[in-house]
Chains A and B, each alone.
Chain A
Amino acid sequence: MAILRDRELTDSAAVAPAAAGAAVGGAQTQSRASRRSTLVSGLTVLATLLVFPFVVPSVYLQNVITEVLIFGIFAMSLDLLIGYTGLVSFGHAAFFGVAAYTAAIVATRYSDNLLATLAAGVVAAGLLAVPTGGLAIRSSGIYFLMLTLAFSQIVYAAAWKWTWLTGGSNGLAGVPRPKFGGFDFSSPATFYYLVLVFFVATFLALRRLVSSPLGHSFIGVRENESRMQAIGYDVWRIKLASFVIAGLFGGLAGALFSYYNGFVSPHDVYWSVSGHVMIMVIIGGAGTLVGPVLGAAFFLIVQNVVSSQTDRWPLIMGLAFIFFVLAARRGIVGMYLDAVAVARAAARR
């Protein structure tokens, strides 16, 4: 009975995101033609992003796209947890925020060197992810969600109260754009390219990861934890690895965000930030890597457009989110794949 139920679960819930992942992410089973088309579309997107600052001189738009790329990194890191390992974290802002604060503290007090600030931020996020992840993955489902929320709220309270270190409610202002060797990333366009480099590196690294044996074991845990355990995998370690890697990349996004914004405040660690990045993952399509980036783009661009017109952005975002949960659970990527499938079927007929 239990086995039967497990198999049903695998069949119904798993195939959709797995199929999306295969088509977009590039699993081994892909045909050569579709792999080539993935490569072509990837290179097209990359080329567009590379020439973007030359074609669009607007500083405002360059900043918007920079922000999209930063949150794209953040959303991809959460997708590793939600979409691939099946761990729904509601406290991912903790790593983003801790890295943002650490990078800001190092940059304002000691050195605005790119490597120093970035490494400090990412290491801080990793150091936080090991114990909190180790504790949180002892439980699962709703309890996991609650524990991650609780840990992130502790970080929020610390950011709010440790005034001597974090500036308390005033936050830390005047975070400089980083320098590296002779390079100074202070102009919007140079900073855009810096973020783009990290974005592409993150995307390639995570794509590589999810098609590696470790990545497959993440998916195995998502699909059927007890079976993975029965086969002999150390599920606890797999989950911890996923949690820490997600935390490190979340930290990378946080450190980049502190340079981008020039300002870090307790708001950046608040649970609403965890909620927003989760919305990006779901709207874009969990378990696809590309989807969460599209989700981040959709979220931030619509937010920019809507909030310049009306104060009702939370209402519109809430309704959009409800629509995706009810009617398009596989997100933007899922809608696209469905449309492609319909078009192909029509062409064949």
Chain B
Amino acid sequence: MNAQILSPLIIQILNGLAFSMLLFLLAAGLSVIFGMMDFINLAHGAFYMLGAYLGLTATQRLGNFWVALIVVPIIVAALGFALEKILLRPLYKRGHLDQVLLTFGLAFVVTDMIRWIWGADIRSVPQPPELTGAIPLGITAYPRYRGFVIVAGLVLAAALWAIQARTRIGAVIRAGVADKEMVGGLGINISLVFACVFAFGVGLAALSGVIAGPFLSLAPGMDAEQLILSLIVVVVGGMGTLKGAFWGSIVVGLADTFGKIYVPDFSLMVIFAIMAAILLVRPNGLFGRAVT
């Protein structure tokens, strides 16, 4: 009797967490780019979408999802590195608004190219054979692939935290978020760090896209939907912090999942209302620093 009430609830919580992990990978990149470079990358959703479609092609051509999972983020990160050098670099002397505007234009270009190449039909990526079926959880069972998404997200979150807190690169990035002129003054090649941070963030977005492939479906518009949610995550959690991106993703992922079940007509409003409420109490988000 209890199990009948409990098992749908557990499944929904797990679904919410799986979605949270996809959002976290997007939001972590968005947040690090903002923390370091002070602008919002509105093309982030487009890179997520590019990752998903490249993942589709790589899985079909190579017949192996795991290779796609490694190769696609690297390709997209390389693209991000090049775009940073060619398009964003000339704008550093100007205001951050110009960078936001540029990425907005870039989003149109990338998503329309994707539509050009892959068409507008809804596509889906086959699940890797190792992850089909369900995991028994005592009173209920859960799809294996979604379980993988949760575990992979948590592992990546831990890895990102370790990189940020325990390595030299992480120290440079934390220092850059705090005061980039000073980091430059200490003899660190800050423009190379910028390009790498942008490439890394964009690569994470692509990774999120590849992981989302067998879980959500691929269609035009998937970029905007996910971009808006991950922007909310970053704003709720606080810009420029990994911790904020993580807890923000959990809040938004669960709110989205439960909102769609209990108030299907107003799920989007629930999320925006939560965001507005958090911002009114904490204008810089849950873990954010003051932005001037």
User: Measuring CB to CB, which residues of chain A are less than 8 angstroms from any residue of chain B?
Assistant: 13, 88, 135, 138-139, 141-143, 145-147, 149-151, 153-154, 156-158, 161, 271-272, 275, 278-279, 282, 312, 314-315, 317-319, 321-322, 325-326, 329
Contact = CB atoms under 8 A, between A and B. Distances in A.
Contact of A142 (B98, B109, B268, B291): B291
Given A149-B231, A322-B102, A317 B108 contact: yes
B117 to A, nearest CB: 11
B94 interface: yes
Contacts of A142: 34, 39-40, 96, 100, 239, 291
A150 B276 contact: yes
Contact of A150 (B39, B113, B232, B284): B232
Contacts of B112: 312, 314-315, 318
By DSSP majority rule, is chain A's interface helix, strand, loop, or mixed? helix
Given A315-B112, A319-B105, 9 more contacts: A143-B279, A161-B265, A278-B104, A279-B105, A314-B115, A315-B113, A318-B105, A318-B108, A329-B98
B148 interface: no
B234 to A, nearest CB: 8
Interface residues of B, number: 44
A74 B233 CA distance: 30
15 contacts: A142-B34, A142-B96, A142-B291, A153-B272, A154-B273, A161-B266, A275-B104, A279-B105, A312-B116, A317-B108, A318-B106, A322-B105, A322-B106, A325-B105, A329-B94
A325 B116 CA distance: 24
Contacts of A318: 105-109, 112
Interface string B102-145: 10111111011101100000000000000000000000000000
Contacts of A161: 265-266, 269
Nearest to A140: B291
A173 B268 CA distance: 25
A145 B106 CA distance: 18
Interface string B260-291: 00000110110011011001100110000001
A315 B98 contact: no
Nearest to A315: B112
Contacts of A314: 108-109, 111-112, 115
A278 B232 CA distance: 21
Ranked nearest first, the 5 interchain pairs of A and B with the lowest CB-CB distance are: A318-B108, A321-B105, A318-B109, A315-B112, A314-B112
B102 A158 contact: no
Contacts of A154: 268-269, 272-273
B272 A145 contact: no
B235 A143 contact: yes
A54 B109 CA distance: 40
B13 interface: no
Contacts of B104: 275, 278-279, 321
A138 B281 CA distance: 11
Contact of B280 (A135, A141, A153, A157): A135
A326 B231 contact: no
A157 B224 CA distance: 15
Contacts of A151: 272, 276
B101 interface: yes
B256 to A, nearest CB: 13
Which of B39, B96, B231, B239 has most A Cβ within 10 Å? B231
Contacts of A325: 91, 98, 101-102, 105
Nearest to A9: B95
A157 B228 contact: no
Nearest to B269: A157
Contacts of B111: 314
B97 interface: yes
A312 B113 CA distance: 8
B90 interface: yes
A282 B224 CA distance: 21
Contacts of B98: 325, 329
A138 B90 CA distance: 31
A139 B284 CA distance: 9
A34 B100 CA distance: 36
Given A157-B269, A161-B265, A143 B101 contact: no
